[in-house]
Amino acid sequence: MMKESNLKIFSYLPNPRVWKALIAAEFSGAEIEVVGDKPKNLGKWLWDFNAEELPENARNDDSPNARKGRRGFSGTLFKTDGFLKAHPFGTVPAAFSPDGAIGIFESNSILRAAARAGASKNSLYGDNGFQASRIDSFLDASLVFAREAQVYLLSVESLSQENYDRMQAAYEFYLSGIEAALGVGKYLAGDELTIADISFVCDVGQFLRERFFREALEKQDYQPIGGSLSQEFPKSFHHMIHLSERAEFSKHLGNYMDGLTVN
């Protein structure tokens, strides 16, 4: 018999933002049901708690569920009113409580939910309110970085100087903080692994996909920003590599980090 899930996630797949929750679930014991499809296919899906691929004749701009993609998706998406009630920003990954009554959006919040759910005793989200708040501080810093990285990667083939400079500044700011934190504790928020470390690995890992656009960057007279990560921020680099090799991480990351060490 399938175990009852603690959380349901709808998204394009694979998605490092979904891996955050799946990695946390490896430690917390949460059961997570993931539903979705390749990024290019998500326009064929009905975005809903009961998400499903729509038949071709149901995919037209006159559908009451037809909405214009707003961030990362161009063209029409099919989002139900129920989906938008649960997910007012209309983004994926989109998580739901098992009965679909509560929508949880923002991958760091879905990550928190995965850490809280599940039967295993763990310190993923700290052992008291102050520790949890410190972990939140890292998650907030990570989101600010990840948002900048999202804008950068979405326009990596035709970057403005402002866009590039903003990314460079966000990278320098975030990684300097991470490097400083790792000079104090074994993990970001202290001596235990927490969801701050999970978010860090997934967000920086996603940003470092810029290496696949080296040619496009060089054509525009730019260099990959994270190309010297291992020299500039050695503690951060080693922390990321070390964690991504742990079984709970590598099970989901697969070969996503391949090529990082050759930069």
Q: Which residues make up the interface to ligand GSH (CB under 6 A)?
A: 17, 69-73, 77, 90-93, 106-107
The number of helix segments (H) and strand segments (E) in the chain equals: 10, 8
Please say which residue, 84 or 216, places its beta carbon nearer to ligand GSH. 84
Please say which residue, 10 or 222, places its beta carbon nearer to ligand GSH. 10
Please say which residue, 43 or 224, places its beta carbon nearer to ligand GSH. 43
The whole-angstrom separation of Cα 252 and Cα 32 is 13
Shortest Å distance, C-beta 67 to ligand GSH: 7
Residue with tokens 């809280």: 116
Closest residue by Cα to residue 198 from 21, 12, 13, 6: 21
The whole-angstrom separation of Cα 116 and Cα 122 is 9
Shortest Å distance, C-beta 2 to ligand GSH: 26
Please say which residue, 75 or 129, places its beta carbon nearer to ligand GSH. 75
Shortest Å distance, C-beta 121 to ligand GSH: 27
The whole-angstrom separation of Cα 46 and Cα 75 is 14
Instruction: Tell me the β-bridge partners of 7.
Output: 32
The whole-angstrom separation of Cα 69 and Cα 115 is 30
Please say which residue, 91 or 230, places its beta carbon nearer to ligand GSH. 91
The whole-angstrom separation of Cα 29 and Cα 5 is 11
Contact 72, 42 (CB under 8 A): no
Please say which residue, 17 or 239, places its beta carbon nearer to ligand GSH. 17
Shortest Å distance, C-beta 119 to ligand GSH: 26
The whole-angstrom separation of Cα 75 and Cα 68 is 6
Shortest Å distance, C-beta 200 to ligand GSH: 13
Structure tokens that stand for 210 in this block: 């810029």
Shortest Å distance, C-beta 26 to ligand GSH: 19
